[in-house]
Amino acid sequence: MSSFASVVIDVDSTLCGVEGIDFLAERRGPEISARISALTDQAMKGEIALESVYAERLTMVDPTPDDLLALAAAYVSSVAPDAPKAIAAMRAAGVRLTLISGGIREAIAPLARQLGFSDHEIHAVSIRFSSDGQYLGVDEPSPLATQRGKPEVVSRLIETGRLLRPVLGVGDGATDAMLVGVVDKFAAYTGFARRLSVVARADLEIASFEELRKIVLGSRG
């Protein structure tokens, strides 16, 4: 029997070694990249609201459909070692798997589908383009573009029965650590980045998806 009935997995710097908006910013050159990094740093220090930073960063990047195609390819090429095998093993054992990300859904979805996630198991922020490819903004107000969005989404999934307890949350960042108290256990993923403040709040620390598989399935799989 699995130790967890459901596993919630972050994408940027957890499932993949990419930070999506930073990747897009780098395509705009060092000046834009540095400005966006500074905004992110301010948000992490609590100096400005994450939700305002999210919109502002995307406005500065002004992404195009081609940018999202490049980001989608970057997600595929940077997927964590052993993630496909571990995800397949957990799914075969009947564990419910869900991706929860503040990243851009349209760039995340191709990899997610390759890994067997259905569309209703992919929770991220959608953006809109005009008919001629101009960036128009976030498709609709998304809790995942806010500081407390992940616990809000996960709570709703638990309440509606789409996630079954016990639930394990897995992620690398401060917004992931906010799942503490919502999920039954939270694992700080350190395979790409080790943030001491996140590790300090976590129930356990893992550095690979093989470790995740063993925690969820034990000696099976």
Catalytic residue IDs: 10, 12
Q: How far apart are CA 42 and CA 53, in angstroms?
A: 9
Task: Give whole-number Cα distances, 106 to 66, 78, 131, 213, in Å.
Answer: 11, 17, 16, 27
Q: Are 121 and 91 in contact (CB under 8 A)?
A: no
Terminal Cα distance for the chain, rounded: 11
Closest to 176 measured CA to CA, from 3, 6, 10, 1:
10
Q: Output the DSSP codes for 148-186.
A: THHHHHHHHHHHTTSS-SSEEEEESSHHHHTTBTTBSEE
Q: How far apart are CA 168 and CA 158, in angstroms?
A: 12
127-129/122-125 β-pairing: unpaired
Q: Give kind and range of the element (H or E) at residue 54.
A: helix 50-61
Pure H helices in 94-160: 105-114, 149-159
Q: Are 12 and 20 in contact (CB under 8 A)?
A: yes
